[in-house]
């Protein structure tokens, strides 16, 4: 905690005074560009990866970057998605997985999670990705895990489309969906192309969309 507190003191004494006008503006309101749904993993730092300022990204983080399908008893993810789309009027939602994901490792390896009942229940929302993943043959465990990370991003985008606010915004043409996978070691992102149903390098396909109706 000492390093964390010292970091705050550095922010308060050195960073904040230099960005005073920005923080004054943010104190009154926010107008984020996009909603990111990413994993809680400490290695995934969205503002660093995308070089965005405070106030630019609205963020949901959880184990496995999961979006439960819309249901009669909405939870925190559902409420946050609804607020982002209906109130903040974000124009883009990005579901982002990452390499070496612990949640996906547990699913891929079929690890028993009896001692983690909440985690076990939560990861059931990735059952569709698990089913797709298990239907294929793989040359190694690493290959299987990498495929599952990608499969899970696609599955969560499908879940996202079941949310009424998302469905309405898509119908009105004011929302785009994106599926990204961040590979930590080389520092690259692959993006899901809804037209070809494949992942492509984001650096070479900057306009790619997870929606089949969009052309990347």
* Helix (H/G/I), strand (E/B), else coil: 187: coil
Residue 46 is encoded by which pair of tokens?
Answer: 């969205």
Sign of the dihedral through C-alpha 30, 160, 190, 141: positive
Q: Based on the residue annotation, tell me whether 43 is a catalytic residue of this protein.
A: yes
Catalytic residue among 56, 61, 101, 193: 101
Catalytic residue among 98, 150, 163, 178: 98
CA 209 to CA 146: how far, in whole Å? 21
CA distances from 98 to 32, 45, 112, 149, 174 (A): 23, 11, 22, 7, 27
CA 126 to CA 201: how far, in whole Å? 24
Catalytic residue among 19, 41, 127, 151: 41
Catalytic residue among 2, 43, 124, 150: 43
CA distances from 208 to 173, 191, 192, 204, 212 (A): 16, 7, 7, 9, 10
Q: Based on the residue annotation, tell me whether 183 is a catalytic residue of this protein.
A: no
Catalytic residue among 19, 39, 61, 190: 39
98 is in an annotated binding site: yes
Q: Based on the residue annotation, tell me whether 142 is a catalytic residue of this protein.
A: no
User: Strands 188-193, 57-62: parallel, antiparallel or unpaired by DSSP?
Assistant: unpaired
Q: Based on the residue annotation, tell me whether 39 is a catalytic residue of this protein.
A: yes
Q: Based on the residue annotation, tell me whether 19 is a catalytic residue of this protein.
A: no
* Helix (H/G/I), strand (E/B), else coil: 62: strand
39 is in an annotated binding site: yes
> Would you list which residues are annotated within the binding site for Zn(2+)?
39, 41, 98, 101
> Would you list which residues are annotated within the binding site?
39, 41, 98, 101
Active site residues: 39, 41, 43, 98, 101
């Amino acid at each position: 905690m000492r390093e964390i507190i010292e970091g705050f003191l550095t922010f308060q004494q050195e960073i904040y005074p230099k960005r005073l006008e920005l923080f004054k503006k943010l104190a009154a309101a926010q107008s984020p560009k996009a909603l990111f749904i990413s994993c809680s993993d400490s290695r995934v730092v969205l503002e660093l990866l995308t070089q965005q300022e405070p106030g630019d990204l609205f963020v949901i983080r959880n184990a496995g970057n999961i979006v439960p399908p819309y249901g009669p008893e909405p939870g925190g993810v559902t409420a946050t998605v609804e607020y982002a789309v209906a109130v903040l009027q974000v124009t883009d939602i990005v579901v982002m997985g990452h390499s070496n994901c612990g949640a996906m490792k547990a699913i891929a390896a079929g690890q028993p999670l009896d001692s983690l009942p909440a985690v076990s229940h939560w990861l059931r929302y990735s059952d569709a990705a698990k089913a797709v993943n298990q239907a294929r043959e793989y040359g190694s465990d690493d290959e299987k895990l990498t495929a599952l990370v990608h499969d899970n991003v696609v599955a969560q985008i499908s879940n996202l489309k079941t949310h009424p606010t998302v469905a309405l915004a898509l119908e009105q043409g004011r929302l785009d969906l994106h599926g990204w996978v961040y590979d930590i070691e080389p520092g690259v992102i692959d993006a899901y192309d809804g037209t070809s149903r494949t992942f492509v390098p984001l650096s070479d396909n900057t306009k790619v969309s997870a929606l089949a109706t969009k052309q990347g």
